Amino acid sequence: MSRRKSSLLFFGSLLCAALAPVSASPGEPQSASPSATQVAPAAVSPSPDAANLPASIRTAFHVRYVSGTSIYIDGGRTSGLAEGTKLVLKQNPSQPAKAGEDKALEPGVIARLTVVSVASTSAVCQVDATAREITADDVVTLPDDEVEKMVERNTLGNTRKYPMVVTFSEGDPLDEDVREALPRPPLPEINQIRGRIGFDMSFITELGQGGATSSEYGMAVRMDATRLFGTHWNLAGFWRGSLQRGSTPSQPTLQDLINRTYLMSLTYINLRSQWTAGVGRLFLPWASSLETIDGGYMGRQFSSNTVTGLFAGSTPDPTSWDFNPKGKIGGLFVNMHGGDYNSLHYSSTAGMGVNLIGWAVNRPFAFTENTFSFKRYFSLFHSMQIDRPTANPSTPAVSVGLGQSLLSVRVQVNPRVTLDMTDTYFRDVPTYDPTLVGTGLLDKYLFQGLNGGARILFPLHFTGYFTVGRSSDSSDPKSSLNTLFGVTKSNIWKTGLLVDARYSKFDSAFAAGTYSSVSVTRDLGETFRLNLQGGKYAYNSTLAASSNSFFVNALIDTNLGAKYFVENAFTTQRGGTQQYNQWTTTLGYRFNNRSSQRSLQRANTP
């Protein structure tokens, strides 16, 4: 008992010594002792010299990559950015607005952006409003109000005085107190749904002997939905299909074939998850050379730069080299990637799969796809497939070998001149639909062998491009010359119209011919869209019916008020195996679940 009392007395004396006031130094007045209910401050306010030092705040960020309405910049959480931060692209004083290249949205501002997703050293922004197209290497900055918020945040975190905290289990009270003092609106990308849905009616009149008129009723859907219902699922793309037909035309029209090239997919993208997936009409993100599939994929990320998974689906795209309406495809893949688009970036994919016709094996294959790029100055793409096609019963067996190889190299000599070189090889004959030759969607297949070209930006909004090469194939006894020449003129007479004209001549082992086309486009966002395209092509092949025909495709799309839209399209084709006129009218509804919020923000903006 005496030992316990002595221990208590010892600890009591220590406690009294700790609570005793500290005597003032000689010559200084003594301050009043704190009462028992007062708590000593744990952090002392910094000296005046330290308080006056400016905080290290980064206000300018470079655009690294542009994908649709998503802008990738080189600053993230470590630079003070957060979801909802506003950014602006300011006008360059050295480029007057009269040229149209640096037009201002408002005085001194070309575009306004909002950060929607943030990583440690990078971020993704959405474009709220812009006067021109945003490109890589543009510099976006923080507006004055965002800089003031960041300075206030840094000032609160560095100079506020907090009472001593003896222990806490989790979190940092200093940071939590600052965060609670700042407004936290919901992330703009969560459950954002915008798009439109319409119902169309089409009439097709076949010309010539035995011509008939048919009708077709369908639906068109355009969707851009992110973080559906607060999840990490996203739905984006365009789809147009038939719901009901009257008397069916003998062959699919040009517009029907183009509709099959559109993509729409539901994808799962979560930076905090090791899994990713997609379903719909889509490309395999890590191997676009496998063409479009109607199906899905699933992948698992085993490290920060390694993904492996599987894919399966049908092959509906009529621009595919081995297109077959009954075709199916499936396989496995592994991808390794690294670097960033602001310097050196690479991606390498390898895998194996099988191509089916119906449920019969047609072509087992192994594939690789590699891309390398350095900033915007150099890029290299190469894809390859090694396969063993199933031969017809009356033909000799085909051994394992190189089925196809696509090589593309691009070098930007200066901002106005870009050189490119391609080398294309296919062992098997193509099965794409030759009706699409005049649209330009098949150019990558028509030019076999080694080809080189350039794209040059001239003054007065002119752009010229050309490709020249010699086509050769293992079964072709001679080499032949391929040529393509084209010119683009934008902002004609300051109307915003863009005109593109091109001429192409191709000659290979499976087809020869020429085509020329002219297109006129005018796009005012979602308000008005005009697209006119006409062309003539001569296609001679031993693998398909030869044709010498021309076509015209016209489309006008405009809004009817704030909620509705109407689209009218006309297609005509003369010559060859098809001669017809097709009229299509679409009436639909536009929706955007954030439009009311944006209208309120604009109304409250002085």
Give the whole-angstrom CA distance, residue 173 versus residue 184: 18
Q: Give the pLDDT score at 30.
A: 43
* Cα of 282 vs its chain's centroid, Å: 13
Q: What share of the chain is helix, strand, coil (3-state, %, to 5)?
A: 15, 50, 35
DSSP string, 319-363: TSTT--TTEEEEEEEEEEEEE-TTSEEEEEEEEEEEEEETTEEEE
Beta bridge partners of 26: none
Q: Give the pLDDT score at 213.
A: 83
Instruction: Look at residue 176 and give its three-state secondary structure.
Output: helix
Give the whole-angstrom CA distance, residue 91 versus residue 111: 9
- SS3 for 90-114 is ECCCCCCHHHCCCCCCECCEEEEEE
Handedness of CA 249, 251, 253, 257 (dihedral sign): positive
Q: Give the pLDDT score at 17.
A: 45
Look-up of token digits 């316990």: 4
CB neighbour class for 380 (10 Å; exposed up to 12, middle 13-18, buried from 19): middle
Q: Give the pLDDT score at 59.
A: 87
Q: Give the pLDDT score at 395.
A: 63
Q: Give the pLDDT score at 215.
A: 85
Tens digit of pLDDT for each residue in 359-374?
Answer: 889 899 999 999 999 9
Domains of the chain (ranges, CATH numbers):
60-181 (2.40.10.410), 195-242+580-606 (no CATH), 252-352 (no CATH), 401-577 (no CATH)
Q: Give the pLDDT score at 38.
A: 38
| Residue type, position 101, single letter | E
Instruction: Collect the ranges in the chain with pLDDT lower than 50.
Output: 1-11, 14-55, 98-99, 158-159, 161-166, 168, 182, 474-476, 604, 606
Q: Give the pLDDT score at 98.
A: 47
In this structure, the chain runs to a length of 606
Record the tokens describing residue 604, joined without a space.
């409250």
CB 68 within 8 A of CB 110: no
The residues, ordered by sequence, that sit 6+ positions from 84 with a Cβ below 8 Å of its Cβ are 114, 115, 185, 187, 188
DSSP string, 404-466: EEEEEEEEEEETTEEEEEEEEEESSPP-S-GGGGGGTTTHHHH--EEEEEEEEEETTTEEEEE
